[in-house]
Amino acid sequence: MAVRQVREEEWTKDGRKWKFEVKYKDIFGNLKYKGSGKYHTKREAQQAERDFLNALDKASDVQVMTFKELCEKHFEYQQDKVKVTTLRNYQKRRQHMHMFDDIKVNELNIEHFEAWKKEINAKGLQTTTKNDLYKYLKCILNYGAKWYNYNFSSMYNKMTNFNDPNEMPKEMQFWTKEEFDKFILVETDIQFKAAFETLYYCGLRSGELRGLTWNNIDFLNKELSINKNITVNLDGKKYVVTTPKTKSSYRTIPMPNVLIEDLRELKQEQSKYHGFNENWYVFGSYEPLGKSRLRDRKNRDCDLAGVKQIRIHDFRHSCASLLINNGANITMVAKYLGHTKIDETLNTYSHMFKGKLDNIVDTINKLNE
């Protein structure tokens, strides 16, 4: 390693005459030589030499980085860039990646991937869940390629997602209008009654429902607006207020008369409490209704009404079924539910459109009579 002044005939027109020369070994143990460009002063050349050596040290550190360390760096990097719900999903999926933990990232290969894939297949997970893990793994690898210059191209070319052609599609649970009417009949608390009606008639996600405040309710125009989401925080807090799931989840939708009347009654009840204002949560008070309270009340009412148990999210499926079976346009259903693309609505509820396809054929048959 040396910093030296070059011969006068090698000086540049603007007077640069200092350079550094370094011999070093690459990650494969091969001896390499680095001759720098020219600098005006000896100090500049010395600083450039230090920068180059520091870069070598950093590159050396990268070569011994384990997959576990790469995951930790990725999670830290994403802290202020993604939603808290996404971070929580990272943590859940991370639990299925421990097989890679002690492997040096630069030594990862397709054999490691295939062994991991075999292990995941043995867990009996749904194909969609397994492919979520696959996407997370690729997310980690893409981060390593972008920020630490790892090259996974040979591995990428052989990686495939999970596919089980024999897997039976998971049956979607939902209520008919008759089942919902039977369910809601046993509910006597106006808060829970209005909450379940909002879920069923408006198709809100659980976090969207719990995030509604009274300034989201427009009684004059008979509309409600979704612009917040409530979720569990990572640091143990009861809840955190976030933005909705996607840009399309921001939406304003009409409310049926039965819901409007019950919301009016609920607001009248809440307004009796000290401190009530338009920023209070519709379902709750100055704090949103707890997720477990909503679920437990639903379970209780299902037992009382003698209807099948469905999840809170299945109220959303029930709303889609209600709309589709009563002739709603697919574009409007997608907008009502806050889906990003119509494809999402079609892929999720395609089985519900079979009757509509039959109607189309009937129309064609009548034209040919």
Separation in Å, CA 177 to CA 5, 47, 55, 147, 328: 88, 75, 66, 53, 15
What secondary structure does DSSP assign to 109-163, as a single string?
A: -HHHHHHHHHHHHTTT--HHHHHHHHHHHHHHHHHHHHHH----HHHHTT-----
Residues 202 and 302 in one domain: yes
Task: Give Cα 107 distance to the centre of its chain.
Answer: 29
Q: Does residue 187 lie within any of the structural domains?
A: yes
pLDDT tens track for 112-158: 999 999 999 999 899 989 999 999 999 999 999 988 888 899 899 99
Residues 59 and 80 in one domain: no
pLDDT of 27 higher than 60: no
Residues 110 and 253 in one domain: no
Residues 126 and 76 in one domain: yes
What pLDDT, on the 0 to 100 scale, is given for residue 307? Answer: 97
What pLDDT, on the 0 to 100 scale, is given for residue 85? Answer: 86
What pLDDT, on the 0 to 100 scale, is given for residue 282? Answer: 98
Q: Does residue 162 lie within any of the structural domains?
A: no
Which residues have C-beta within 8 Å of that of residue 282, sequence separation ≥ 6?
A: 194, 212, 213, 214, 216, 217, 263, 266, 267
What pLDDT, on the 0 to 100 scale, is given for residue 263? Answer: 98
Query: Which has more confidence, 238 or 87?
Result: 87
Half-sphere exposure of 119 (CA within 13 A, CB side): 14
Nearest to 192 by CA among 314, 310, 295: 295
pLDDT of 104 higher than 50: yes
pLDDT tens track for 252-289: 999 999 999 999 999 999 999 999 999 999 999 999 99
Q: β-pairing, 223-226 with 217-218?
A: antiparallel
Half-sphere exposure of 128 (CA within 13 A, CB side): 4
Q: How far apart are CA 250 and CA 108, in angstroms?
A: 41
Which residues have C-beta within 8 Å of that of residue 191, sequence separation ≥ 6?
A: 266, 269, 283, 289
Residues 309 and 268 in one domain: yes
Q: How far apart are CA 138 and CA 97, in angstroms?
A: 12
CB 227 within 8 A of CB 244: yes
Q: Does residue 14 lie within any of the structural domains?
A: yes
Q: What is the mean pLDDT of residues 45-64?
A: 74
65: number of Cβ within 10 Å: 17
Read off the CATH number of the domain in which 79 is found.
Answer: 1.10.150
Report which DSSP code applies to 350: G
Residues 204 and 346 in one domain: yes
Residues 325 and 190 in one domain: yes
Separation in Å, CA 287 to CA 136, 213, 236, 290, 357: 33, 10, 16, 9, 46
CB 205 within 8 A of CB 316: yes
What pLDDT, on the 0 to 100 scale, is given for residue 63? Answer: 61
Q: How far apart are CA 115 and CA 220, in angstroms?
A: 60
pLDDT range class, residue 360, cuts 50, 70, 90: very low
Number of domains making up the chain: 3
pLDDT tens track for 328-352: 888 888 889 998 888 777 777 766 6
Q: Does residue 112 lie within any of the structural domains?
A: yes
Residues 143 and 184 in one domain: no
pTM higher than the cut 0.75: no
Across 21-30, 66-75, 224-233, 250-259, least confident range: 21-30
Amino acid at 220: L
Q: Does residue 135 lie within any of the structural domains?
A: yes
pLDDT of 353 higher than 80: no
pLDDT range class, residue 354, cuts 50, 70, 90: low
- For residue 329, what are the domain limits? 177-361
Identify the helix (H) or strand (E) that includes residue 17: none
- Domain end call among 63, 81, 112: 63
